[in-house]
Amino acid sequence: MSEHIVSKNLYFLIFGALMVLTAITVGVAFVNLGPLNNVVALTIAVIKALLVILYFMHVRYSSRLTWLVIVGGFFWLAIMFVLTSSDYLTRGWVSFTR
């Protein structure tokens, strides 16, 4: 069995999508949406990162074991963010809604 080869056209398509999303994220940054600005910026960044991971990095076609390592990695990252935030937020040191 040989490895999956992603076609050139799909790479161009992903590149185009990444550029459009970059343009949108810049455009939205100049509009005042209050706290929603962060939500929109991070949502777009996560979509862009997913496109890069799934297609440029071929994870969509990778083994289950590779998936497990990646998901585990992001799960650990989430633990770091959530537990640290729970400490800072409950002591009233920071507020994410200001």
Partner 1 sequence: MATQTLNHADAHHDAAHDEEHHPGLAHHFDNMEQQRDSGTLGMWVFLVTEIMFFGGMFLAYMLFRASNPNEFAAGSYQLDVLLGGINTAVLIGSSLTMALAVFFAQTGNKSLLVLFLLATILLGFVFLGIKAVEYGTKFSHGTIPGRNFKVEHKKMEEYEEHHHGDAAANVDPARLQMFFVIYFMLTGVHALHMIIGIGVMSVLVFFALRNRYSPEYHSHIELAGLYWHFVDIVWIFLFPLLYLIGRH
Write out the residues near partner 1 by the rule CB under 8 A: 1-3, 5-6, 8, 11-12, 14-15, 18-19, 22, 25-26, 29-33, 37-38, 41-42, 44-45, 48-49, 52-53, 55-58, 62-63, 65-66, 69-70, 72-74, 76-77, 80-81, 84-85, 88, 93-96, 98
DSSP string, 28-75: HHTS--TTHHHHHHHHHHHHHHHHIIIIIT-GGGS-HHHHHHHHHHHH
Measured from the CB atom, is 2 or 90 closer to partner 1? 2
